[in-house]
Amino acid sequence: MFPARFQYHRAGSVKEALGMLQQFGDDAKLLSGGHSLLPMMKLRLAQPAHLVDIGGINDLVGIREEGGKIVIGGATIHDQVAGSAVIRSKLGLLAECAAAIGDIQVRNRGTIGGSLAHSDPAADYPAAIQALEGEIRLESGSGARTVKANDFFVDLMTTAIKPGEILTSVSFTPHTARTGYTYLKHRQPASGFAVVGVAALVTLDTKGNCERVRVGITGLGPKAFRATAVESALTGKKPEAATIGQAAAHAADGIDALADIHASAEFRAELARVYTRRALQQAISTIKV
């Protein structure tokens, strides 16, 4: 199916893009990699009168270290995140997650900012963003603000981004010593999306107890979330198999699980518990003490 007619605008800077958003208002949509927006336009689920292309803005592309954090531009493609030496050495969970997204074509067009802004309930990045407690920078004509991952994902394909704002970057604190991580998912074979995906991050103290546990889950509910009940159940304890299993049993607590042609709500909840246990076990097994 063909999209409805629209006017295409290519912004040369963030300032220019913000001006276009202000000028066109609700009739405008941002375009970066296009993997989220263009299929919706073809199905006419979205019919913007104006497309503002921000994919060519140099300031939105790249990975840098700044103020003790790793900052990734919103228009940075998945393959750059997966292959970055800085990300792989200091933020390995995100590199592992990026490498699991879609296929090679998707990873070479889709962007981290586009994925987060679209907030598909089965997208991979949001699970890792939650586990890593990322911070999302949003800019508008009136200034900039930073939103924590826990507050960014609001509901099904709904985020904290306000009209007239652009997601310009995401920042993270690098992994600390004695930390292990992994991202595992039950992959939908046609699309590569996560039926359920789990990002696990575990830091052990000098006595071998779980000092810090972070678990982000995608695919289970209408938005990605932190499985805080799992985290609390494991924090302060030895990472033994029985303890991990008991903690992982809380993965679906309080979540209204989605149901579709790929999985029933009950199956999704069980997948969340199983993959959380596996992810925690694998994350712990990678820790170098």
pLDDT at 1: 72
pLDDT at 38: 85
pLDDT at 28: 93
Nearest CA among 157, 96, 155 for reference residue 123:
157
Question: Which residue segments constitute the domains of the chain, with CATH numbers given?
Answer: 7-53 (3.30.43.10), 60-172 (3.30.465.10), 179-285 (3.30.390.50)
Nearest CA among 201, 134, 130 for reference residue 167:
134
pTM (two decimals): 0.94
Distance CA 5, CA 11 (A): 19
DSSP code string of the chain: -PPPP-EEEE-SSHHHHHHHHHHHGGGEEEESS-TTHHHHHHTTS---SEEEE-TT-GGGS-EEEETTEEEEETT-BHHHHHH-HHHHHH-HHHHHHHHTSS-HHHHTT-BHHHHHHHT-TT-SHHHHHHHTT-EEEEEETTEEEEEEHHHHEEETTEESPPTT-EEEEEEEPPP-TTEEEEEEEEE-TTT--EEEEEEEEEEE-TTS-EEEEEEEEESSSSS-EE-HHHHHHHTTS---HHHHHHHHTTTTTT------SS--HHHHHHHHHHHHHHHHHHHHHT---
pLDDT at 204: 98
pLDDT tens digits, 44-100: 988 999 999 998 899 999 999 999 999 999 999 999 999 999 999 999 999 999 999
pLDDT at 173: 98
Burial of 63-99, coded b for 16+ CB within 10 Å and e otherwise, reads beeeeeebbbbbbbbbbbbbebeebbebbbbbbbbbb
pLDDT at 266: 98
pLDDT tens digits, 172-185: 999 999 999 999 99
Where the chain has pLDDT below 70, the residues are none
Distance CA 99, CA 78 (A): 7
pLDDT at 99: 97
